[in-house]
Structure 1
Amino acid sequence: MNKKQKKMLIRIIVAAVLVAALSMFPLEGYLRAALFMIPYLVIGYDILQKAWKGIRNRQVFDENFLMAVATVGALCLGDFKEGTAVMLFYQIGELFQSYAVGKSRRNISELMDIRPDYANVERDGNLEQVDPDEVEVGSVIVVQPGEKVPIDGTVIEGNSTLNTSALTGESLPREVKEGDEIISGCINMSGVLKIRTTKEFGESTVSKILDLVENSSSRKSRSENFISKFARYYTPIVCYSALALALLPPIIRMLFMGMTPQWGEWIYRALTFLVISCPCALVISIPLSFFAGIGGASKAGVLVKGSNYLETLAQTKYVVFDKTGTLTKGVFEVCGVHHNTLEDHKILEYSAMAECASSHPISKSLQKAYGKEIDRSRVTDIREISGNGVTAIVDGVSVAVGNGKLMDSLGIKYVECSQVGTIVHVALDGQYAGHILIADVLKPTSAEAVRQLKKSGIRETVMLTGDMERVARQAASEIGVDKVYSELLPADKVAKVEEMIDRKGAKEKLAFVGDGINDAPVLSRADIGIAMGALGSDAAIEAADVVLMDDDPLKVAKAVRIARKCMRIVYENIYFAIGIKILCLILGAVGIANMWLAIFADVGVMVIAVLNAIRALFVNKL
């Protein structure tokens, strides 16, 4: 509890003890009134102040005004115990709501802890702590064990283990070494790192994430907008209805029926009506449900830019995936060496040597598979043939590494491969030596992610890719998506998404999941764009509506589950609060409900709704 909440708790306890003590004695008249005013003012002076301030600012109709009128009216009718109890229980509900909001904010604050307080800059052999905003691009900063990485950059010296849980929601540490890219917001766990900054602090990952989360509450959902409009019209209507209930029946009884007006009874009914009608449960619990949902999602590594996107995500029935970098690792890996006349490692050695001067992803994968330091002095006469491959002399052996076109141009017969992937043929001194199969490897959780989405009620999963049809269909069958479209250019992907949007139902939403770099146009065109593996990706944070802070496709299913749980809680609160209100208003108007039932209809319903809203903070693991 914070200081303000502790102060309120003390006021509640004092007022409750005084009311209990006064109820034990048979007090009458002015003495009873004067003594009960003490606990009433202890617990309710701030509500009276707010109501008076609202009247002076011409913003009369709010819950403070309703509570003030209802409780002061009850005191005027001599119902001192009930009037004080209404204010007491209302403040208990307010304390409950304040604690719930605080708990939700603390969840957001845990994410905010990634904001660095300083950056270490080495000057004249000493470390000097400076504001991260003052560090220029290209500067060298030092991050010691236990410190936060303040700015994005490249490791130029040292190796360490990073804790990325504040960003990704996962506790698995990440190893970094010299030459690796590093993002702000991570915590350095072990070794000292020297980092050359590649961005200013204002453009770094941590700044963009914090800005995204801080502004998420500004984008209201349709449910929140409905409740705001509802409360704006609802409160004046019930105030005038209560006034009519207090005046019209007594006047009708007196003028038209010749009966006693019974002013006290009808005013009591009107005051009960006012207490019941207070819209606290709706006005507080609905925004709190969304706030808790966004907080729980951010803790799980899912950043939602606003409650409107949370609502749209809950209505998603179609999920469209990009392939490369989203369902696959986006990194070529050697999967095997086939039809070779030499041992595998010798074929890989000749290939890696011949490709040592190339920066092509396939060349990089061959060098990685070789796994040893390449001695460039062993390689001469390197010739790169665009679109075909390379030729070179390695240890005096003529080596040709490339596709079928290269083999055809050299007049070398080669063996086709039946497996799916990129085929790299190798020839030594004009003789075919075998081929190497290279493929973009599927992420280990891709198939499970699709299964979980279908389990969550997603009607159709689709994969879009620029790959060849054979490669695309092989990947689609392994992952389990319903449909696959291959050999697409970026513009073709947009057209395909638009086609699917035109086909779906009006209330059904389509989500596109991409890596956020090349897929920005499609992310923007879909009903909701989800960026995968967005650590350090500016394009993802800008274009997407939901940002997943690591590259795990399983987080897509988790995001949908979080959104649906949040919306389920929102509708539970709406139906429960409005249903109880309507029932109790009817009972109050006909005189069956008293002030104690009114307290339940207001404070009790609010406490139950707030407790229900807090559930959105807790995210179940898949």
Structure 2
Amino acid sequence: MEAAARKELILEGLCCANCAAKIEAKVKELDGVSLATINFVNKTLIIEAQNTANINEIIDKTKAIVNRIESDVVVKEKTILKSEKKVLILMGLCCTNCAAKIEREVAKLPGVKSAVIDFTSQRLIFESDGSEKVNIIVTQVEKIVNRIEPDVKVLQEEKGKKVKYHAHDEEEGSIKNELIKSGIGAAFFIVAIVFNFSYWTEFALFLISYLLIGGEVVLKALKNIKNGQIFDENFLMTIATIGAFAISEFPEGVAVMLFYQIGELFQNLAVNRSRKSITELMDIKPEFANIKINGEERKLDPDDVRIGDVIIVKPGEKIPLDGKVIAGKSMVDTIALTGESVPREVEEGSEVLAGFINKNGLLEIEVTKEFGESTVSKILDMVQNATSRKAPTESFITKFARYYTPVVVFSALAIAVIPPFVIPGASFSDWVYRALVFLVVSCPCALVVSIPLGFFGGIGGASRKGILIKGSNYLEALNSVDVVVFDKTGTLTKGVFKVTKVSPQDGVTPEELLTFAAYAESYSNHPIATSILNAYQKDVDKEVISDYEEVPGQGISVKVDGKEVLAGNYRLMVSKNIPYENVDTAGSVIHVAVDKNYAGNIVISDEIKEDSKEAIRALKGIGVKKTVMLTGDNKSVASKVGAELGLDEVYAELLPDQKVERLELIDKEKSSKGKMIFVGDGINDAPVLARADIGFAMGGLGSDAAIEAADVVIMTDEPSKVAGAIKIARRTKTIIWQNIVFAIVVKVVIMALGAGGLATMWEAVFGDVGVTLIAVLNVMRVLKTDNI
């Protein structure tokens, strides 16, 4: 069997989104092509052929198609240096400082283009130059992890397999062993405190207790020092507790290690609980698919089902793949994907998405997308990889922790050494104790653990509301929105056009006018064209159509059975010097001319979404300074929609490139730190979505190009979810900053008290482990988005 081939073509000069869609459709029809997709934003066409034998022939035919549809576009082949993306699970990773070290070292490995650790999901994602290097890199990663965190297991994420982030049997066994050792150590500790022994007997009991409770911490610190990894929490606790023994504070040395270990246990349980809660939000991947083959049912993994296969979904089961219902009727629960609690009715002909839950009826569904291309797969990929795009706050805290710990260690050293030589009568042991208190409280875990959890929790909570945010950086940017710019059709309006009026000129019948318009629009995929073809309700004989030409921003020129037909807006009539009838209506007007003679006009109406007025009101209610609408529709329609919704500014009759230009001008008017959102749904919106600070795509009905270009995807097509996303972002920021302020204030206070001799190691342990535990528990509140 021949190997499949993949080619990427650059379409230089491609500026017509409609033409891009036609090129894509035509290339898909070529024999031997298994995939063809155009990214309008970067003007690339990706083609996958079923085998390598005829790839050059396909490329030649593709060039001919492009030349026929867009003669000015230059087609160039791009050599693809395919990079390999690999995901490893670092099972048992609970030290954020160690995670940062692993990330830095992996990123420096030869052949690694990028590497990022998502501490929340314990995933290491790296991208290499090619697949042949992956196994070598994985081996090197295992060595790095083993050196920095010997207890962490490196597992390779298997395609289609879910990873559970709560403790497995082996981890539970390890926790049990630690509890037994700590329990025995605590018993020695209590005996040494309660009974009055000689100095050396007491020392021996405390030392045994210390080794049982904290021996592993000391061992880790020594291993890390040997490997050049000095400044971490193990080092801080080891120095602090050994220092306590050195100044004969045996009870406090053991007690600090005991409560540190207990605190670490509760902290890890809290972190694991947070991880589990967050990942369960996206536990929407179907486990299996019942496929119908020759009248019999077989249970398969969704990854093994192909386009065109028929699957059976029984009541209570998840729909495993995107498809079309070919038999049956039922109610489906869509809350996992859209956040909508009201079930949706589906029947024969209805489109359904993977992740919907079938409530009551038996459904037979013809698969229209493989699982890797399905909506649920894209959602899972978006959410799982969202934290790889780190927010500025998150990145700053990571860098801060890297330099903070060494500074604290040297500050503690200064506290221990300088005062006894400077202050008359100062006790060396007293200042060493103060320095040890300073060390214990200084660990930045509360910040570096809770902040990534906070952002991931915000992204997970938003996803349950049908709002998919592609990165922590976008979630944080949503806190600074000044301007929200909307597209009209399909965003603020339903995008479902209907022919509401046919007005022919004398000598032309309504049927003739509609026929000319339908033939002119037959190659277009615009909603207006679709509405005209739906009203025509007959097959179009494309054999009689020739000289098809789309005039950007105006309409279409075509010959139908030898007659020149023009169909478009008033600008097309003006450009061709054809007198036309001016129509004042809330709908879109398509003027038609035949052989330079005006034949009449067709009015097409679009309804405003019920949710749109609430969306604008909600945005103004949360302090957005300006709401704007950009549309290619005529000024009359745009003005009426804008006035009804209460928009601040409306700009109409814009071409796609003019939308970008207008967006640039709007961008200059906002404040220097303010952000601008653009909300759109169509392929024509892709350039504007990419240009905005934050691009929102209407994902439920939106085009793949718009979703690809956007930073946030709204699955329900409700514009009010824009305000919802901003509210979630603000709530997330509030909780994260509560943790930052709380942690810093408590630590600074205890550090100051410790340095002043007013705090003991008991307060220091609370300032480290206790603060971290409280911060992690506070993060759990991010998940509660019921009132948003």
TM-score of the pair, normalised by structure 1: 0.81
What is the identity, as a one-letter code, of the residue corresponding to 1:278?
C
Picking from 217, 223, 243, the partner of 2:393 is 223
2:206/2:251 contact within 8 Å kept: yes
The residue that corresponds to 1:342 in the other structure is none
Please report how far the alpha carbon of residue 547 of structure 1 lies from its aligned counterpart in structure 2 after TM superposition: 1.5
Pick from 73, 81, 86 the counterpart of residue 243 of structure 2.
73
In the superposition, relative to structure 1, how do residues 500 and 169 fare at CA in structure 2: closer, same or farther (>3 Å)? same
Shift in alpha-carbon separation, 1:599–1:362, aligned structure 2, 3 A:
closer
Q: Secondary structure at the match of 2:494?
A: strand
Deviates more, 1:609-618 or 1:440-449: 609-618
Change (3 A) 1:519 1:50: farther
RMSD: 4.0
Deviates more, 1:532-541 or 1:295-304: 532-541
Distance in 1 separating the partners of 2:216 and 2:771? 22
Question: How many pairs does the alignment contain?
Answer: 576
Is 1:289 the counterpart of 2:458? The answer is no
Please give the alpha-carbon distance, in whole angstroms, between the structure 1 residues aligned to 2:515 and 2:670: 53
Stretches of structure 1 lacking an aligned partner (at least 5 in a row) = 339-347, 378-382, 389-401, 409-413, 426-434
The higher radius of gyration belongs to 1
CA shift at 1:317, angstroms?
1.2
Deviation at 1:114, TM superposition (A): 1.9
Q: Quote how far apart the aligned CAs of 1:536 are.
A: 7.5
Does 1:123 find its partner at 2:293?
Answer: yes
Q: Equivalent of 2:640, from 466, 474, 481?
A: 474
**1:501–1:294: structure 2 CA closer, same or farther, 3 Å change rule?**
same
Give runs of aligned pairs for residues 369-388 of structure 1, distance below 5 A.
Answer: none
Asked if the contact 1:164/1:186 (under 8 Å) is kept, the reply is yes
Q: Note the 1:397-546 alignment, pairs <5 A.
A: 419-422=585-588, 438-515=604-681, 517-534=683-700, 537-546=703-712
Q: Match of 2:438, as an amino acid?
A: F
Confirm or deny that 1:605 pairs with 2:771: yes
CA contact (8 A) 2:588 2:634 kept: no
Assess if the C-alpha contact under 8 Å between 2:260 and 2:769 holds in 1: yes
Equivalent residue for 1:133, pick from 261, 286, 303: 303
Q: Quick one: which amino acid aligns to residue 80 of structure 1?
A: F
Instruction: Tell me which residue corresponds to 2:474.
Output: 309
Where 2:629 maps in the other structure, the secondary structure is strand
Give the corresponding residue for 2:742: 576
Q: In structure 2, give the amino acid aligned to 1:610.
A: V
CA deviation profile, 1:132-177 (whole Å, cap 9, x unmatched): 2222222222222222222222222223222111111121212222
Structure 1 match to 2:380: 210
Deviations 1:406-437 (A, max 9, x none): xx9xxxxx999765224799xxxxxxxxx997
Distance verdict in 2 for CA 1:468–1:145, change over 3 Å: same
Secondary structure at 1:441 match in 2 = coil
Distance 1:230 1:145, change over 3 A: same
Map 1:146-225 onto structure 2 (within 5 A).
146-225=316-395
Summarize the Cα distance change of 1:20–1:471 in structure 2 as closer, same or farther, 3 Å threshold: farther
Shift of 1:362: 6.1
Identical-pair percentage: 53
Summarize the Cα distance change of 1:125–1:117 in structure 2 as closer, same or farther, 3 Å threshold.
Answer: same
| Counterpart in the other structure of 1:268 | 433
Corresponding residue number in structure 2 for 1:62: 232
Quick check: 1:100–1:614 contact (8 Å CA) kept in 2? Answer: no
Distance change (3 Å), C-alpha of 1:107 and 1:521: farther
State how far apart, in whole Å, the 1-side matches of 2:273 and 2:486 are. 35
Distance 1:75 1:535, change over 3 A: farther
Closer/same/farther in 2, CA of residues 39 and 534 from structure 1, 3 Å limit: farther
Cα distance, 1:292–1:85 mapped onto 2, change above 3 Å: farther
Instruction: Report the residue type matching 1:68 in the other structure.
Output: T
Separation of aligned partners in 2, 1:445 and 1:23: 70
Superposed CA offset, 1:349-375 (max 9, x none): 9999999999795697699999xxx9x
* Structure with larger RCO (C-alpha < 8 A, sep 6+): 1
Is the CA contact 1:104–1:291 (under 8 Å) kept in the aligned structure 2? no
Q: Is the 8 A contact 1:534 1:541 kept in 2?
A: no
1:59 offset after TM fit, Å?
Answer: 1.0
Q: Deviations over 1:288-326 (max 9, x none)?
A: 221221222122222111111111111111111111111
Amino acid corresponding to residue 481 of structure 2 in structure 1: T
Amino acid at match of 2:735: I
Separation (CA, whole Å) in 1 of partners of 2:228 and 2:529: 73
Aligned mate of 2:194, from 7, 21, 25: 25
Task: Return closer, same or farther for 1:454/1:536 CA change in 2, 3 Å cut-off.
Answer: closer
Classify 1:159/1:16 alpha carbon distance in 2 versus 1 (closer, same or farther; 3 Å). farther
SS in 2 for 1:491: helix
> Structure 1 residue 62: deviation in Å?
1.0
8 A contact 1:19–1:81 mirrored in 2: no
Aligned residue type for 1:308:
N
Residue 138 of structure 1 aligns to a residue in which SS? coil
Residues 489 and 580 of structure 1: CA distance in aligned 2, closer, same or farther (over 3 Å)? same
1:452-510 deviation digits (Å, cap 9, x = unpaired): 11111111111111111111111111212211111111111111111112222221111
CA distance in 1 between counterparts of 2:648 and 2:702 reads 31
Sort the Cα spacing of 1:38 and 1:485 in 2 relative to 1 into closer, same or farther, 3 A: farther
Deviation at 1:70, TM superposition (A): 1.2
